[in-house]
Structure 1
Amino acid sequence: MKIINLQNKIIFTISVILVNIILSPVLVAAQTNSQEDDFPAAPDTGTPVGTSTPGGSRPNTNCPETKLPLRALIANNGKDFTVAEYPNLLFNVPYASNQISNIEFALKDPAELKTVYRTAIKLTGKPGIVKVSIPQKSEYALKSNKDYRWNLILYCRGNKTDEPDQVLTGWIKSVPMKTQLNNQEYQSYIENNIWYDGISLLADKYFADPNNSKLKADWQNLSKSLKWDNLDNKGFAEIVLVEPAE
């Protein structure tokens, strides 16, 4: 009887080990997918690829070397969606105000060959995340299902030419809201492929509450998944937007 009980115990132990071996890859895959689902892949809008970092800038730049590059905080090479008529666009500007002579932002309608909105950006404090908010005026409103192209052009001190030192480009498309999104939950925007708004909302929340461990982890995970390097909590830079005179 003891021998039979021992055999049964051995068989049970082996069975448990085999089940764990078989299920382990499944559990790992499920955990991985769960992590990836927090920030799904951005969709293809069908527009040309943008330049989120100034890879095409001229080689003899006047800009000083920085730890992190000038960067648009976007997904999918700057081919993303918004549900806002007046969206926010975010840029990591690693330069101090005394290192820059001029920054310009322009939103263009390529189909009609016109500039929808243009502004100069003046830094008034330390480097950080520059948030460009399209003013809530009817002439600047993004029309639904239209592709718009934006440019961020930067001139550093010492540049005596008309050629900018660094240039970023990207595309943005306003789409109708097909599902009811929670306007306080950045993940609901990202899960529905509305990346411009999701990124902007997360930045607003995190920079307002940088000690919140959940927001900090989500910001770091988003930075990693979109290959922004480690922006950590740079916060919003203090800026003044100067619209050109008509």
Structure 2
Amino acid sequence: MKSNLQPKKRFLVVAFSCTILLVSLTPVVAKPTLGSLPSDDYGGLRLRADVKTNLAQATAFNEPTIPSGPAPAGRVRGGAKRGPTCPGTVTKPDLTALVPFSEEPNSVTNVWGQTTVEHPSWFFYVPYTKDLPYEVEFVLQDQDSNDIYQKAIALPDKAGVIRVSLPTNAPALALNKQYRWFLTVNCDQQENSSLIFVGGVIQRIELKPAALKELQTTEPLKRYAIYAQNGIWYEALTTLAQLRDQNPKDAALQAEWENLLSSIHLNDIAAEPIISEKP
């Protein structure tokens, strides 16, 4: 699908529209104690009863410092009070990117997170369903605003959280470079003003050797804690989503998911279902 929004225009939309999101955010900094997490064999994907009681308090996301240089301005909500909103979302949260965000004194909203993998995944809350005639597209750009990946996104059967993954045949993210991403929704193909979007910046980094070694020898729940402790948002979220997909009735994992999203002030999305954990 060819987007109506050209690469340079996408960048300008983000720069000018990010001022409409007025959210006050205090970064949540916590240091989880990895030793307190369950040591059971997570191959069976079961948690002990005592672990379930304390799991939601065991881990919180340790938000890293915004990198120096141009602000990673973006937009975490697709429909703001003074911006366009697609029909069909009157009683639902707006289109939302599941990613940390913070507002600067000059009203610029930073939407930024770190990954350690070449082909990461993004998660979005989408309030629109497949019965609506909307065009949805995910776009990834390099530091020069060149599109390096585009994908038409099929709307789900019901409102909820979807996953968009960068496929292995797409260009890999280079270390220490920033990339800009967008998810756009075109409510009316005849009117560009009906296009709403979320967008932000992702940067691939390397973990410290000690954390990397621990990741290679531990079970998924502890891997999630290591990622969260080291401020690696994308792998923390993806790991926890995969655990929930394999354990859909596990109340402890649901509580941990809600705790993670609430820690970045996305409380209204925390209880929304994950529609499909498949890439």
The alignment's TM-score, normalised by the length of structure 1, stands at: 0.74
Whether the 8 Å contact between 2:156 and 2:275 is mirrored in structure 1 is no
**Are 2:137 and 2:150, in contact at CA under 8 Å, matched by a contact in 1?**
yes
8 Å CA contact retained: 2:258, 2:271:
yes
The answer to whether 1:143 aligns with 2:170 is: no
Bigger proportion of residues as strand: 1
The one-letter code of the counterpart of 2:152 is: A
Q: Which amino acid aligns with 1:38?
A: A
SS at match of 2:137: strand
Structure 1 partner of 2:6: none
Gap regions ≥5 residues in structure 2: 1-29, 33-56, 102-109
The CA distance in 1 between the partners of 2:238 and 2:277, in whole Å, is: 16
Equivalent residue for 2:162?
Answer: 130
Structure 1 match to 2:150: 118
- After TM superposition, the structure 1 = structure 2 runs for residues 43-58 of structure 1, keeping only pairs within 5 Å, are 43-46=65-68, 47-54=71-78
Q: Does 1:167 align with 2:214?
A: no
Aligned length: 206
Deviation at 1:41, TM superposition (A): 3.0
Match of 1:84 in 2: 117
Residues 57, 68 of structure 1: alpha-carbon distance in 2 compared, 3 angstrom cutoff: closer
Residue of structure 2 equivalent to 1:222: 260
Letter in 2 for 1:114: N
Q: Distance in 2 between the 1:33 and 1:182 partners?
A: 17
Question: 1:78, CA displacement in angstroms?
Answer: 2.3
* Corresponding residue number in structure 2 for 1:72: 97
Aligned counterpart, 1:152: 183
Do residues 232 (structure 1) and 271 (structure 2) align?
yes
Unaligned ranges ≥5, structure 1: 1-31, 242-246
Match of 1:211 in 2: 249
In structure 2, the residue corresponding to 1:144 is in which secondary structure?
coil
Q: Which moved more, 1:62-71 or 1:140-149?
A: 62-71
Contact 2:182 2:199 in 1 (8 A): yes
TM-score (norm 2): 0.65
Q: Which amino acid aligns with 1:212?
A: D
Q: Distance in 2 between matches of 1:69 and 1:80?
A: 21
Give the direction of change, closer, same or farther, for the CA distance of 1:194–1:163 in structure 2 (3 Å limit): same
1:105 is aligned to 2:138: yes
Distance 1:160 1:58, change over 3 A: farther
- Is the alpha carbon distance of 1:94 and 1:106 closer, same or farther for their aligned partners in structure 2, counting shifts above 3 Å? same
